[in-house]
Structure 1
């Protein structure tokens, strides 16, 4: 892809995914709203309970004043004046790029969903509540998850500074510095904000621009997308002639998709064959591509893309195809019912109030694995030289070297204990 093509794509769709992570109730969804103007938790149960249950998403564009110094030079679509001019000097604001924010749950029981979201992240905002001691259990767990998945572009957001004293804000800052000392993130910026009052958001946008760049991907590879949502977008009572096909939502990780092309979805849907339940790939045609409200003829890696298809909407409704991988027919990795993983265990279980040593993986135990956006549970059939063999309940699509997050059930809850690589 030429530089001109890259710049043109940059104007039409986000080419970078920025996740929010951190403990429940630290203000991640409120922060995304301050940045984008969009409340990312859209599910009815989320609105009722006031917490994130599914992966949310929201896009925005970043603008910069050509004359003012940072941080006040930076704006987003949600914070810029309606006339498109800098509120300090009146200069017309210049477009920088579009970005996509991924909102993941902070609750300990939803860690598997957070791991699926982390698989899509090019960078992350680790949100810390200044009113509470750092780290909270899921602050530590989410930071470990980012480490395992390989996210290395990080901005730490010290939220709720509007409701603490100056002394507590400084104490909170020092707690954060101590938490990240000696880690890959020890030099990450810490930006104090009030997401609720939208205070210091310009400084946060500046830090995002400095520390979370748009990655350059290989557009020449066969296209591949991880599915994170799937929908039936037809409203009840729609006439049969007006029905549209099912929609897949996710992120393209390589190559590019185009309207009109045929695609394969793996592992696909569950069917009965010879008396056994197996998964069969699904084939369909792309009828539309969209990012936010922007229709596309071609969709590139990064950002969250909605792919319209000719599938029966019953196949995609209620997130039925979460965890699937999409590509052109014949280009996808194999569907694996048996998984061989080179295991790397953490020293301690994260996410608990009290430290607990991670015990070795044992034959016969049940583990949960996250592979891309796919989640599966399987029985360990054998372990030798840190290589575990698993029989999966739900197959995954992966090639050699794919990173896997590993969790074990402890006290009735799945806890992150390590990571591995598909052999």
Structure 2
């Protein structure tokens, strides 16, 4: 079978599966574009659809700034003199609000430790913005959209090697909540994604959530474990293995361990939760 024949066969089979799976879902009647990133087929078409069909989200410049940290690092090189040492840097996307140079910020949950009794204690990290960058462009302020690099006065040891990934950078005094338990309204997929099947065998169905099982949650850029402590219809109460700074209405992804791998099984929306007491700001 030639490559072109095989490629046409694969597209035909994929379209057949789409007709069976998509009706009745949110993707019903949505445009489907076959692509191959390795062979660079139709990547330009996907980009065109994104630009022309997906509306630009509304940007909120008024609310207190809130940035999801997706990486953090120490910008200092070995051998730097004491006077040359700079504070740690964080990179991420601003969800809402505007960050400005010389603005005082805090990172939540911050430093998380357990005491002798096993109780969790969160201490936010307080700092000041000394620089803002978008790629190689130095900024005086940064707005939602795109990736932003934030230079701070934080101890480089605290931020090195992506130690702040999953945390939230906010303005001092905006008081975002830190949760240790979540109540979510969830929706499960019909079938498992990314699991190998033999021949024409269909993907396995996603079973219902069970009390006591362990899931992995993705909230913003944070990945954390969660224990299901109660389930009722499409509502679940989850106990987190580590505290998370988030807000009600935020979307989360649910994954279950299948054949030694975490597989996406559904998504949900945070409805409520149990918050953790955070020490008041010293600034």
Same fold by TM (over 0.5)?
A: yes
- Matching residue of 1:234: 76
Q: What TM-score do you get using the length of structure 1 for normalisation? A: 0.56
Contact kept? 2:129, 2:153, Cα under 8 Å: yes
Contact kept? 1:180, 1:186, Cα under 8 Å: no
- Matching residue of 2:187: 344
Return the structure number with greater helix share. Answer: 1
Q: How many Å apart are 1:207 and its aligned residue?
A: 4.3
Q: How many Å apart are 1:233 and its aligned residue?
A: 1.3
Q: 300, 303, 318: which one pairs with 2:161?
A: 318
- Matching residue of 2:244: 396
Contact kept? 1:177, 1:186, Cα under 8 Å: no
Structure 2 residue ranges without an equivalent (≥5): 198-202, 272-283
Return the structure number with greater strand share. Answer: 2
Q: Given the alignment of the two structures, is residue 167 of structure 1 paired with residue 9 of structure 2, yes or no? A: no
Q: How many Å apart are 1:278 and its aligned residue?
A: 2.1
Measure, in 2, the Cα distance between the counterparts of 1:208 and 1:392. Answer: 35
Offset from partner CA, 1:189-235 (integer Å, 9 cap, x none): 63767767x78776665444323454331211221111111111111
Q: Secondary structure at the match of 1:284?
A: strand
**Closer, same or farther: CA 260–357 of 1 in aligned 2, 3 Å:** same
Number of residues of Structure 1 aligned to a counterpart in Structure 2 = 260
Q: 246, 251, 256: which one pairs with 2:93?
A: 251
Q: How many Å apart are 1:389 and its aligned residue?
A: 1.8
- Matching residue of 2:57: 215
Q: How many Å apart are 1:338 and its aligned residue?
A: 1.4
**Closer, same or farther: CA 245–368 of 1 in aligned 2, 3 Å:** same
Measure, in 2, the Cα distance between the counterparts of 1:345 and 1:195. Answer: 31
Measure, in 2, the Cα distance between the counterparts of 1:250 and 1:226. Answer: 6
- Matching residue of 1:405: 253
Q: Given the alignment of the two structures, is residue 281 of structure 1 paired with residue 281 of structure 2, yes or no? A: no
- Matching residue of 2:204: 356
Q: How many Å apart are 1:307 and its aligned residue?
A: 0.7
Q: How many Å apart are 1:316 and its aligned residue?
A: 0.6
Q: Secondary structure at the match of 1:382?
A: strand
Q: 217, 232, 235: which one pairs with 1:387?
A: 235
Q: What TM-score do you get using the length of structure 2 for normalisation? A: 0.81
C-alpha root-mean-square deviation of aligned residues, in Å? 2.7
**Closer, same or farther: CA 256–176 of 1 in aligned 2, 3 Å:** farther
Structure 1 residue ranges without an equivalent (≥5): 1-130, 132-163
Q: Secondary structure at the match of 2:255?
A: strand
Contact kept? 2:33, 2:46, Cα under 8 Å: no
